[in-house]
């Protein structure tokens, strides 16, 4: 539409007799039956322009609205989607992968050991989608069930969650995998039902403590002799700390956010071409899911994360000192300790003991035992003494992070409790799901 208008105004300059432009004259000369839609539009506009008083005002208004509409469209997030070409492009096996040496032509299909794609006039992608979720095809459901099992237990029934083929590992419990998969299909792909099945199982509800005989019988816990126990992924650790601190934003959806990150990381990776502009306010406290990811230099606090170069569906869990440094020193983690301490001062009770017990419970979901409380008390009192001697240090620690601090009582107390919370957020029991 805009293009047509532009053409119209442009052509006005080349006027013909009777005030007609060349393209209008052309449109008029064309028999009605043969006129194109743009010619019809041109003539309609020309007529209205000449014989309709309000035309100019309305046309101006229309243009304004159009610009507004374009502005809105420009703001919209663009999403890439896959689509079929109108005409299928021939695809060839390439000799040793060389695109200049095509061999025989190939067509979309499934491997011979699997059922074929259903026939039909629909595009191949749609047929593939239907094939994937056909009730006669248990493979998809097995893969999904295994992925969820992996999420709850730290390891799938098929350990190579990314590979169910002949090169992958065999399932430890094939009947269980098949039973869960069949139930998933029969339930109409009800994921909540699947989760219920998993978490209500006696395997899942076992204690994670390692029984004495486990070393002999099931050292790797392959047969689920005990409950799952594994370190949480780094992005979940961040969410957990934000939640314990009471900082976590529960808002759903929206554009990505840019939380704290050491200065200069992006600039260094891009020779100063791209600089990290961190967000402020609520954006700092949104779930890790929403954190912006630049592929050449990902968010530095997410260790053991998939590298975005190849598809990875199995979590890596390693232990390096760098991870400990992240959990102890990263700005958000320190801020979480500070906010968590504040929360304990407000909600946790009046005495040190009440507050320490409350803090411990916030991150472990259990009350501390006597000896644990004693260690925490020792830490609190020692930290308090240190800060009393160096009040400036207390002030510095309480200044980490953007969130505001409620003035309650002695900042020394707040700072000392912040150290305790920093410790608690780094407990093995807190980093680990058990």
Partner 1 sequence: MVPEDQIRRHVTRRALLARGSVGLGAIALSTLLGREERSLASSSVGLPDLPHFAPKARRVIYLLQNGAPSHVDLFDYKPMLERMHGQQIPDSVVGGKRFSTMTGTQTERPCLQAIARLRQHGESGATVSDFLPHTASIVDKLCFIKSMHTTQVNHAPAITYFLTGDERPGRPSMGAWLSYGLGTENEDLPTFVAMTSRDKEASCGQIFYDYYWGSGFLPTVHQGVKFRGSGDPVLYLSDPPGMARSHRRAMLSDLRALNELHLQEMGDPETATRIAQYEMAYRMQASVPELTDLSTETAATLEMYGPDVTTKGSYAYNCLIARRLAERGCRFIQLMHAGWDQHRNLNTQLEIQCRDTDAPSAALVKDLEQRGLLDDTLVIWGGEFGRTPFLQGKISETQSWGRDHHPYAFTIWMAGGGIKPGITYGESDEFGFNVVRDGVTVHDFQATILHLLGIDHERLTYRFQGRRFRLTDVGGRVITPILA
* Residues 358, 363, 369, 373, CA torsion sign: negative
Length of the chain: 434
Phi and psi torsions of 230, nearest 5°:
-155, 155
Options 108-116, 119-127, 241-249, 304-312: segment touching partner 1 (CB under 8 A) = 304-312
* Gap between the Cα atoms of 290 and 171, Å rounded: 34
Of 185 and 247, which has the nearer Cβ to partner 1?
Answer: 247
Q: Work out how close the CB of 274 gets to partner 1 at its nearest, in angstroms, rounded to a whole number.
A: 9
| Nearest residue to 28 (alpha-carbon basis) of 47, 10, 12 | 47
Residues 270, 358, 361, 402: which binds partner 1 (CB under 8 A)?
270
Beta-carbon neighbour count of residue 322 at 10 Å?
11
Binding mask 68-87 for partner 1 (x = CB under 8 A): --------------------
SS3 of the chain: helix, strand, coil, percent, to 5: 55, 5, 45
Q: Are 142 and 173 in contact (CB under 8 A)?
A: no
Residues 397, 413, 414, 417: which binds partner 1 (CB under 8 A)?
397
Residues 46, 357, 379, 414: which binds partner 1 (CB under 8 A)?
379
Residues 178, 190, 353, 393: which binds partner 1 (CB under 8 A)?
393
Q: Does 161 bind partner 1 (CB under 8 A)?
A: no
Options 42-50, 84-92, 351-359, 373-381: segment touching partner 1 (CB under 8 A) = 373-381
Structure tokens belonging to residue 268: 């260094």
Q: Does 146 bind partner 1 (CB under 8 A)?
A: no
Of 117 and 297, which has the nearer Cβ to partner 1?
Answer: 297
Options 13-21, 86-94, 191-199, 421-429: segment touching partner 1 (CB under 8 A) = 421-429
Of 285 and 303, which has the nearer Cβ to partner 1?
Answer: 303
* Gap between the Cα atoms of 424 and 313, Å rounded: 30
Of 162 and 402, which has the nearer Cβ to partner 1?
Answer: 162
- The DSSP result for 141-188, as a single string, is HHHHHHHHHHHHHSS-SSS-TT--STTSPPPSSHHHHHHHHHHHHHTT
Q: Are 401 and 325 in contact (CB under 8 A)?
A: no
* Gap between the Cα atoms of 282 and 271, Å rounded: 30
E-only strand ranges, 349-419: none
CA atoms within 13 A on the CB side of 79: 6
Which residues between 331 and 350 bind partner 1 (CB under 8 A)? Answer: 331, 334
Q: Work out how close the CB of 395 gets to partner 1 at its nearest, in angstroms, rounded to a whole number.
A: 7
Q: Does 390 bind partner 1 (CB under 8 A)?
A: yes
Options 11-19, 176-184, 279-287, 324-332: segment touching partner 1 (CB under 8 A) = 324-332
Which residues between 211 and 250 bind partner 1 (CB under 8 A)? Answer: 211-212, 214-216, 219-220, 229-231
* Gap between the Cα atoms of 386 and 380, Å rounded: 10
- Which residues are 291's β-sheet partners? 257
Q: Does 434 bind partner 1 (CB under 8 A)?
A: yes
Which residues between 273 and 302 bind partner 1 (CB under 8 A)? Answer: 273, 296-298, 300-301
Residues 372, 402, 403, 405: which binds partner 1 (CB under 8 A)?
372
Q: Work out how close the CB of 199 gets to partner 1 at its nearest, in angstroms, rounded to a whole number.
A: 20
Q: Does 197 bind partner 1 (CB under 8 A)?
A: no
């Amino acid at each position: 539409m805009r293009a047509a208008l532009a053409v119209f105004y442009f052509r006005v300059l080349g006027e013909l007799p009777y005030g007609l432009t060349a393209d209008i004259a052309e449109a008029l000369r064309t028999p009605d039956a043969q006129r194109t839609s743009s010619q019809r539009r041109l003539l309609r506009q020309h007529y209205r322009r000449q014989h309709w008083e309000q035309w100019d005002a309305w046309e101006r208004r229309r243009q304004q609205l159009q610009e507004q509409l374009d502005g809105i469209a420009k703001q919209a997030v663009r999403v890439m989607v896959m689509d079929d070409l109108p005409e299928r492009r021939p695809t060839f096996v390439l000799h040793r992968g060389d695109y200049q040496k095509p061999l025989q032509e190939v067509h979309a299909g499934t491997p011979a050991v699997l059922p074929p794609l259903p026939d039909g006039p629909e595009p191949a992608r749609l047929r593939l989608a239907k094939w994937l979720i056909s009730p006669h095809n248990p493979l998809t459901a097995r893969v999904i069930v295994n992925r969820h099992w992996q999420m709850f237990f730290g390891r799938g029934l098929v350990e190579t969650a990314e590979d169910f083929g002949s090169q992958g590992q065999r399932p430890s419990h094939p009947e269980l995998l098949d039973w869960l998969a069949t139930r998933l299909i029969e339930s109409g792909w009800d994921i909540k039902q699947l989760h219920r099945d998993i978490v209500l199982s006696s395997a899942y509800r076992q204690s994670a403590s390692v029984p004495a005989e486990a070393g002999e019988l099931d050292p790797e816990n392959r047969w689920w002799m005990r409950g799952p126990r594994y370190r949480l992924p780094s992005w979940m650790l961040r969410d957990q700390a934000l939640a314990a601190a009471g900082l976590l934003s529960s808002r759903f959806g929206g554009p990505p956010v840019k939380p704290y990150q050491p200065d200069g990381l992006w600039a260094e990776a891009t020779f100063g071409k791209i600089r990290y502009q961190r967000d402020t306010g609520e954006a700092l406290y949104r779930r890790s899911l929403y954190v912006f990811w630049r592929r050449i230099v990902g968010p530095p606090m997410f260790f053991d994360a998939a590298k975005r170069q190849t598809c990875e569906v199995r979590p890596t869990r390693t232990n390096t000192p760098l991870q400990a440094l992240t959990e102890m020193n990263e700005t958000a983690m320190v801020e979480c300790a500070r906010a968590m301490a504040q929360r304990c001062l407000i909600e946790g009770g009046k005495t040190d003991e009440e507050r320490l017990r409350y803090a411990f419970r916030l991150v472990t979901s259990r009350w501390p035992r006597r000896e644990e409380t004693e260690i925490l008390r020792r830490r609190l009192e020692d930290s308090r003494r240190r800060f009393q001697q160096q009040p400036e240090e207390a002030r510095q620690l309480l200044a980490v992070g953007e969130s505001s601090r409620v003035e309650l009582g002695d900042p020394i107390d707040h700072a000392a409790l912040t150290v305790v919370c920093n410790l608690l957020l780094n407990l093995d029991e807190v980093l680990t799901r058990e």
